[in-house]
Amino acid sequence: MRFLCVLLTFLAIVLSIFLGFGMYNDSKDIERFDKETAVFEEQSGLYRAEINELTPKISALSEEKASLKAEIDAIKRRIIYKTQPTAFLTFDDGTSGNTNQILNILKENNIKATFFVVGTQIENSKAGQEAIKRIVEEGHVLAIHAYEHEYSKIYTSKEAYFEDFDKITALLKEMTGYTPKIVRLPSGTATARSFCERYGGSTDVYYDIVSELYARGYTVIDWNVDTEDWNTATGVSGIIDRAVSGAKARLSKEYKAAVILMHDTADTVKALQGVIDGVKDLGMGFEVLVQGGYVTRQIAETEKP
């Protein structure tokens, strides 16, 4: 019995020593864990600070990369036009009662075109709004011309121009859900400059307008083949002849690209198939104008001579 008591006492002592040792080890582990946690949290804080510092730089570099890629793509695209004869069919001053017929002809020929539209022609016109819907749904490029095609109003000042411009962009965004980024100044850049001098008192108005357009991310595009279809004296055959001869002349240029100016007129509807056939016979393909793509006048002319 006494032996049993001694044994139990001995075991109790051993157990207490073991438990004490275990508690000691646990205490050391906890202390080590606390130290490691503190180091980890300190290092994590440094990493977070570094990440916060680098994030804006990474974002800026990503934007720069995207911008450079777009610029490189545009350069590649323009280089292609040195060897690949291309025609761009463009229609100004629409929409009109003739637009749907133009769209029908384009659809029959599987050709896409670029439409520079006027706000007053579409805002209160059901047919005009349906034509806008077709332009977008059928894969053509919707582009900006003006809200009111009134030289004496829009070219009096930069503010007057953008009051008009903001109305057409708002209208098109409401109708389509996006804002087109291709712009053609009413009457083209060369004449617009003279109109700004006449109605605004200085060519400075022109440079202010175009510079602001580029600052807002728009591309201004003119033409290099004028069919003169706006003049009824030109006639159907005249429209075809001017389009085809103008496109042919571009084949001898550095860039073999013809940006053909037409309008939504009745004679244009009658001439369009002939224009398409004649241009095709020259070996030209058809494309739409895109931002950063082939242009006849652009950024250099935002700078005053």
pLDDT digits (tens, 9 = 90+) for 224-275: 999 999 999 999 999 999 999 999 999 999 999 999 999 999 999 999 999 9
pLDDT at 223 over 80: yes
Q: Where are the domains of the chain?
A: 1-80, 82-302
Residue at token pair 């503010």: 159
Which architecture characterizes domain 82-302 according to CATH? Alpha-Beta Barrel (3.20)
With contact defined as beta carbons under 8 Å apart, do 155 and 199 qualify?
yes
Give which of 141, 191, 192 is closest to 165, Cα–Cα.
192
**Mean pLDDT on 8-24:** 53
Q: Which amino acid is present at 285?
A: G
Instruction: Please tell me which residue, 265 or 12, carries the higher pLDDT value.
Output: 265
Which range has the worst mean pLDDT, 42-51, 260-269, 290-299?
A: 290-299
DSSP state of 116: E
pLDDT tens for residues 101-121?
999 999 999 999 999 999 999
Helices 126-137 + 99-108 axis angle, to 10:
20
Q: Cα(55)–Cα(85) distance, rounded to whole angstroms? A: 45
Name beta bridge partners: 257.
86
Residue 88's pLDDT band, with cuts at 50, 70 and 90, is very high
Residue-wise pLDDT for 134-187, tens only, equals 999 999 999 999 999 999 999 999 999 999 999 999 999 999 999 999 999 999
Confidence band, pLDDT 50/70/90 cuts, at residue 69: confident
Q: What is the pLDDT of residue 26?
A: 54
Residues in contact with 261: Cβ distance below 8 Å, sequence separation at least 6, in sequence order: 90, 92, 223, 225, 226, 227
Name the percent of the chain lying above pLDDT 70.
Answer: 84
pLDDT tens profile 170-180: 999 999 999 99
Q: Which amino acid is at 203?
A: T
| CA atoms of 89 and 22, how far apart (whole Å) | 88
**pLDDT at position 64:** 76
d(CA 258, CA 81): 10
As to burial, measured by CB atoms within 10 angstroms (0-12 exposed, 13-18 middle, 19+ buried), residue 56 is exposed
What local confidence, expressed as pLDDT, does residue 13 receive? 56
Cβ contact 114:288 at 8 Å: yes
